[in-house]
């Protein structure tokens, strides 16, 4: 097998530890897809199966289109490892549209991981990998991507059944996790009379506890709720055990970040697509808010701040991909104009029946018949602070009185991870209630940022055009009942704007503002 020759004296050679990664071929069953991942290193060869299991028939094993979809579902996880392998070989039925997509996303993910996991502080690294220098490269993905089809025979995608499966644009799949964003999305869709299908991706490990309260409630009370089981979390851990530059006690390191991976949402998203195809669902809604669409630069390397798969750029790229494939699916977020604060406020005020099942804590535990939050992690501090800031009792979604008190005290020293404007405004709200001690180093200086409690429209991060026309009036009308109005970006500031009655301007300096991608991944 042809491999790259490491550049002499390149300090990044210390992380290029995989000779090759082989993915596939996928085995397609009516309710399951199984794809072997085989890793070749200097220490030997190791193989593990990636599995997605469904609760109903979703595949026709004789249909080439099913082979293609199964291959794309199980290929996504591999895109996290382009920095570490000489070759990633995908064995399956892929067309040129798929290959272009995988190449683009592998490069984009490699660049994001370069910046967020190696150039910025990462407590999981050890040795030389923790001190790598910034190098601007034309190509960050070290691995050469190869495509073969050892099971192909005469099978071609042109022989497949019709590929379009987004027949009903009145039906929405909601990628669900038990968090506030997916619950608010579901509540909005139900209120405006759209068919909503919450789809939960059940990872085999403890992360499933985060979703369990919401899933149990919706499975009983909301027809159309679906679950997909996958062991993707086991593969992520399997890769870490083969990375000598990662601390092998990574499970004991207290951190709100994953050690290496950044291409995660697509691992779940593609797993949901067979359910869309089976039901003819034409839209998929992902609950991402305003501050997840970012562009930044570090040492002259442009990047998306590690949030690409939660950004508006990701939604547009996936919608383009679905269109090229003929699948006819639209992907977007109903919450793109909202801050995290406004998401939490709206959910609690408008849909308390859903909000009580909210869970964001990844260190949750089972207490009799219900999952309870840990009350100690950053996500718990953030949720408790936001609820208290709006006079909403956190005990309604599982926190004890003592946990609420502990979270508010911990804010003073440990802080939270939130957009700067949101953190400033949250600190301001808490100070006004006498709940923030003076000199609290964990939060920024309190400052009223009125735009945080308004719908924000921005040509790059949250244009009105991201929301389908038939949804805009109904969705914005509901959201405005909980927001303090709406604003549109005006240079570095904001101007008042009525999204229901005022024409939206996407022009500055007499020219229409266009998307200005710096890679084809946008």
Burial of 158 (0-12, 13-18, 19+ CB in 10 A): exposed
Per-residue confidence (pLDDT) for residue 520, from 0 to 100: 45
CA-wise closest residue to 111 among 139, 145, 134, 77:
139
- Going by the DSSP 8-state scheme, the letter that residue 193 receives in this structure is T
C-alpha dist (Å) from residue 276 to 139, 211, 270, 279, 335: 35, 20, 10, 5, 21
Spell out the per-residue pLDDT of the chain, length 522, in tens: 344 555 668 899 999 999 999 999 999 999 999 999 999 999 999 999 999 999 999 999 999 999 999 999 999 999 999 999 999 999 999 999 999 999 999 999 999 999 999 999 999 999 999 999 998 888 999 999 999 999 876 566 765 555 667 677 789 999 999 999 999 999 999 999 999 999 999 998 788 899 999 999 999 999 999 999 999 999 999 999 999 999 988 777 777 678 999 999 999 999 999 999 999 999 999 999 988 888 888 988 999 888 999 999 999 999 999 999 999 899 999 999 999 999 999 999 999 999 999 998 888 999 888 999 999 888 999 999 999 999 999 999 999 999 999 988 888 788 788 888 988 999 899 989 888 766 566 777 888 999 999 999 998 889 888 899 999 999 999 999 999 999 999 888 999 999 988 665 554 433 333 333 334 455
Q: 79 CB contacts (<8 Å, ≥6 apart)?
A: 102, 105, 106, 109, 263, 266
Per-residue confidence (pLDDT) for residue 3, from 0 to 100: 46
Task: Give the β-pairing of 455-457 and 486-490.
Answer: parallel
Task: Tell how far CA 438 is from the center of its chain.
Answer: 35
Q: Are 296 and 303 in contact (CB under 8 A)?
A: yes
pLDDT, tens digit, for every residue of 249-263?
877 777 767 899 999
Cα separation, 380 vs 505, whole angstroms: 39
Cis amide bond preceding 518, omega within 30: no
Task: Tell how far CA 498 is from the center of its chain.
Answer: 30
504-516 CB burial, b ≥16 within 10 A, e <16: eeeeeeeeeeeee
Cα separation, 465 vs 471, whole angstroms: 11
Q: C-alpha angle 353/266/208, rounded to 5°?
A: 45
Beta bridge partners of 512: 507
Element at 196 (helix H, strand E): strand 195-203
Q: Are 335 and 289 in contact (CB under 8 A)?
A: yes
Q: Are 199 and 176 in contact (CB under 8 A)?
A: yes
Burial of 316 (0-12, 13-18, 19+ CB in 10 A): middle
SS3 content of the chain, % helix, strand, coil (to 5): 40, 20, 40
DSSP annotation string for 9-25: T-GGGGG--EEEEEE-P
Cα separation, 329 vs 334, whole angstroms: 16
Per-residue confidence (pLDDT) for residue 415, from 0 to 100: 76
Per-residue confidence (pLDDT) for residue 511, from 0 to 100: 38
Per-residue confidence (pLDDT) for residue 143, from 0 to 100: 97
Cα separation, 426 vs 448, whole angstroms: 8
Residue 412: CB atoms within 10 A of its CB come to: 15
Per-residue confidence (pLDDT) for residue 4, from 0 to 100: 52
Cα separation, 89 vs 23, whole angstroms: 6
C-alpha dist (Å) from residue 177 to 256, 397, 409: 17, 15, 28
Per-residue confidence (pLDDT) for residue 266, from 0 to 100: 97
Per-residue confidence (pLDDT) for residue 361, from 0 to 100: 87
Per-residue confidence (pLDDT) for residue 504, from 0 to 100: 54
């Amino acid at each position: 097998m042809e491999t790259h020759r490491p550049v002499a004296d390149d300090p990044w050679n210390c992380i290029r530890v995989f000779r090759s990664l082989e993915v596939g071929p996928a085995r397609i069953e009516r309710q399951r897809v199984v794809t072997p991942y085989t890793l070749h290193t200097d220490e030997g060869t190791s193989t593990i199966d990636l599995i997605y299991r469904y609760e109903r028939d979703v595949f026709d094993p004789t249909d080439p289109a099913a082979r293609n979809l199964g291959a794309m579902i199980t290929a996504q996880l591999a895109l996290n490892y382009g920095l570490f392998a000489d070759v990633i070989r995908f064995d399956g039925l892929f067309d040129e549209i798929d290959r272009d997509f995988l190449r683009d996303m592998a490069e984009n993910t490699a660049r994001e991981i370069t910046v967020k996991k190696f150039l910025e502080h990462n407590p999981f690294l050890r040795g030389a990998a923790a001190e790598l220098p910034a190098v601007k490269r034309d190509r960050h993905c070290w691995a050469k991507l190869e495509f073969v089809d050892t099971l192909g025979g005469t099978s071609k995608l042109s022989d497949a059944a019709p590929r379009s499966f987004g027949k009903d644009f009145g039906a929405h799949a909601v990628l669900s996790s038990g968090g506030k964003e997916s619950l608010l999305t579901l509540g909005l869709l139900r209120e405006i009379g759209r068919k909503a299908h919450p789809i939960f991706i059940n990872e085999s490990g403890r992360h499933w506890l985060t979703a369990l309260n919401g899933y149990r409630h919706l499975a009983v009370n909301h027809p159309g709720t679906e679950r997909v089981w996958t062991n993707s979390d086991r593969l992520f851990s399997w890769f870490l055990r083969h990375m000598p530059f990662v601390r092998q006690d990574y499970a004991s390191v207290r951190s709100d970040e994953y050690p290496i991976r950044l291409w995660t949402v697509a691992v779940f998203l593609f797993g949901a697509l067979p359910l869309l195809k089976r039901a003819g669902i034409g839209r998929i809604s992902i609950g991402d808010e305003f501050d997840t669409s970012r562009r930044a630069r570090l040492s002259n390397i442009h990047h998306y701040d590690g949030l690409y798969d939660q950004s508006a750029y990701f939604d547009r790229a996936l919608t383009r991909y679905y269109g090229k494939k003929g699948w006819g699916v639209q992907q977007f977020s109903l919450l793109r104009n909202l801050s995290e604060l406004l998401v939490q406020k709206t959910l609690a005020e408008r849909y308390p029946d859903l909000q009580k099942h909210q869970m964001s804590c990844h260190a949750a535990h089972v207490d009799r018949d219900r999952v309870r939050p840990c009350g100690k992690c950053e996500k718990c501090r953030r949720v408790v602070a936001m609820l208290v800031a709006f006079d909403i009792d956190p005990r309604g979604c599982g926190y004890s009185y003592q946990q609420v008190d502990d979270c508010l005290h911990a804010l003073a020293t440990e802080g939270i991870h939130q957009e700067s404007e949101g953190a400033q405004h949250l600190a301001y709200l808490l100070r006004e209630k006498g709940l923030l001690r003076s000199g609290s180093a964990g939060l920024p200086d309190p400052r009223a940022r009125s735009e945080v409690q308004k719908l924000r429209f921005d040509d790059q991060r949250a244009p009105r055009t991201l929301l389908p026309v038939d949804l805009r009036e109904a969705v914005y009308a509901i959201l405005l009942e909980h927001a303090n109005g709406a604003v549109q970006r005006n240079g570095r500031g904001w101007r008042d704007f009525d999204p229901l009655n005022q024409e939206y301007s996407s022009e500055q300096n007499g020219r229409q503002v266009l998307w200005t991608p710096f890679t084809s991944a946008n």
